[in-house]
Structure 1
Amino acid sequence: MTFVQLIDCKTSRFDEMNQLMDTWVEQTKGKRTATHDVIGKDRSDATHYIEIVEFPSYEEAMRNSNLPETDRIFREMVALCDELPTFTDLDVVRDEQLYSANIRRFFETIAAKGALSPLNDLIAENYHDHDPANEQDTIGLDAVRREIEMWRGAFDFTFTVDDQVTEADRVCTRWTWNATHTGDFRGIAATGKQVTMTGTTVFRCRDDGKIAEGWWQYDQLGLMAQLGVLDQLEL
């Protein structure tokens, strides 16, 4: 179970404490078990800071605490505090990655049967799409809807999300696309063939969770080969 430790402290020497944390990160390379560290400053009290440190488990947190580097840095950190810091130990019982959940819903929505939904609850009005298969970037919600409708008109498809990584406002999704070629696709008449394609998309999300920008990479050459286009070129 993921474990989180909250360290609540007051200090008027945060710059020194920040340098101390950099020293700990450098000295514990290859040994520390912490996976994520966030420090927040109280907007109503400039000397009040809360550090949130995440670990894979309580046991891993204890291993981290027992490192000699951690013990030494902790004692130096206490010396920089205006008062003794307090610690709160938390077992994580819910961890909702809201950006990645919205991205999953986007893939499900564009592959859903029936009429395409408005998408304005998922995509920003000024959305900017980068697709190497297109000569120009697709900009705006209406334009991206037309692009999606083009794919939906040519294929009956589903997406499988294979992997997702979230970093700040970016969500990287590795996906598999399975489809039946049912309509015209860039001048290629419907073949009825079952096709598959893999790809990766990086989306940038706004604070409200709406998708603001996207970068696509996918195996279009492999798709064309499955549709028989490359065989025709060889002839």
Structure 2
Amino acid sequence: MTFIQVIDCRTHRADELDRLMDDWVRATRGKRTATHSVVGRDRSDSAHVVEIVEFPSYEEAVRNSHLPETDRAFREMVRVCDTEPTFTDLEVSRDEQFNTGVVRTFVEEVINGRNLGAADGLCTGDYLEHDPSLSSHTVRLAQAKEENQEIMEAFQPVMTIESLIAEGDLVCARLSYTGRHTGAYRGLEPTGREVSGTGHATFRCVDGRIAESWWNWDDLGLLRQIGAVGL
């Protein structure tokens, strides 16, 4: 279970505290178990600095604290702080990434649910889709729905999200799909062959909706599976 440690400091030497953090990051490369660190200053009190450090588990946090580099960094931190830092240890009970949620809903409702109309509510009015397998590398929502309708009717794909990574307003998805060639596709009559493949997509989200997406698929591999091109 993800574990978070909140370190609360008071210091008028925040720049020096930043340098200490940089030194610790360099010294613990390949050793530390921390996966993410965020440092923030209180807007109403510039001497109030909070660091939030994420670990895969409590046990990994303990391992990290036992590193000699961590002990040395802590002693230096105490030196540059006005008072001794305080620690709050948190077991994460809920971790909600709102942008990943809308991407999961898009995949389940629009693609797997065969409901292209649902995209109207999940995407912004100025949505742009970038996909080299479409008629143009960049299309707006109406055209994207029209062209993807052909793909969905031809292959009845079922998509699986293998992993999602979110950063800022972007969500990157590693995807796989299975299907069967049961409808015409690019003038090719249905073959009844089973198809499968993998791809990646990156989504840009604004106010809980998808504003832009970039798709990359093994389109050549798909055409080979239905016999449209040679091996």
What TM-score, normalized to structure 2?
0.89
Q: How does 1:164-203 map to 2 (within 5 A)?
A: 164-203=164-203
Q: Compared with structure 1, are the counterparts of its residues 175 and 214 closer, same or farther at alpha carbon in structure 2 (3 Å cutoff)?
A: same
**Residue aligning to 1:226:** 225
Identity, % of aligned positions: 50
- Structure 2 letter corresponding to 1:222: G
Give me the whole-angstrom Cα distance separating, in 2, the residues matched to 1:212 and 1:17: 38
The answer to whether the aligner puts 1:143 opposite 2:143 as a matched pair is: yes
Alpha-carbon contact 1:110-1:148 (below 8 Å) kept: no
Aligned 1:6-85 pairs, distance under 5 A = 6-85=6-85
Tell me, in whole angstroms, the C-alpha distance in 2 between the residues paired with 1:18 and 1:114.
50
CA contact (8 A) 1:109 1:117 kept: no
- Mapped contact 2:65–2:71 kept (Cα < 8 A): yes
Partners in 1 of 2:141 and 2:114 — Cα distance?
A: 19
Distance 1:92 1:115, change over 3 A: closer
Contact 2:158 2:178 survives alignment (8 Å):
yes
Alignment-mate amino acid for residue 217 of structure 1:
N
* 72 and 122 in structure 1: CA distance in 2 versus 1, 3 angstrom threshold: same
Give the Å deviation of 1:168: 3.3
Q: Secondary structure of 1:30's match?
A: coil
Separation of aligned partners in 2, 1:4 and 1:139: 42
Tell me which residue corresponds to 1:217.
Answer: 216
How far apart are 1:67 and its partner, in Å? 1.4
Counterparts of 2:120 and 2:40 in 1: how far apart (Å)?
32
SS of the equivalent of 1:119 reads helix
Deviations 1:166-201 (A, max 9, x none): 333332222121122232211222333322221111
RMSD between superposed Cα atoms in Å: 2.1
CA distance in 1, matches of 2:116, 2:11: 54
Is the alpha carbon distance of 1:11 and 1:142 closer, same or farther for their aligned partners in structure 2, counting shifts above 3 Å?
farther
Moved more, 15-24 or 175-184: 175-184
SS at match of 2:104: helix
Deviation at 1:205, TM superposition (A): 2.4
TM-score after normalising by structure 1: 0.88
Which secondary structure does the structure 2 equivalent of 1:31 belong to?
A: coil
Q: State whether residues 134 and 147 of structure 2, in contact with CA within 8 Å, keep that contact through their aligned partners in structure 1.
A: no
Paired letter, 1:40? G
CA drift of 1:21 comes to 0.4
Distance 1:203 1:113 in 2: 19
Q: Which range moved further: 26-35 or 55-64? A: 55-64
**SS of 1:189 mapped into structure 2:** coil
Which amino acid in 2 is paired with 1:214? S
Instruction: Give the deviation of 1:22 after TM superposition.
Output: 0.5
Give the match's secondary structure for 1:117: helix
What SS is found at the alignment partner of 2:117? coil
The answer as to 2:166 corresponding to 1:161 is no
Distance 1:62 1:88 in 2: 14
Q: Find the residue that maps to 2:95 and give its secondary structure.
A: coil
Q: Secondary structure at the match of 2:45?
A: coil
CA contact (8 A) 2:99 2:205 kept: yes
How many residues in Structure 1 have an aligned counterpart in Structure 2? 231
Range with bigger deviation, 39-48 or 111-120: 111-120
Q: Which amino acid aligns with 2:40?
A: G
1:114 CA drift (Å): 5.5
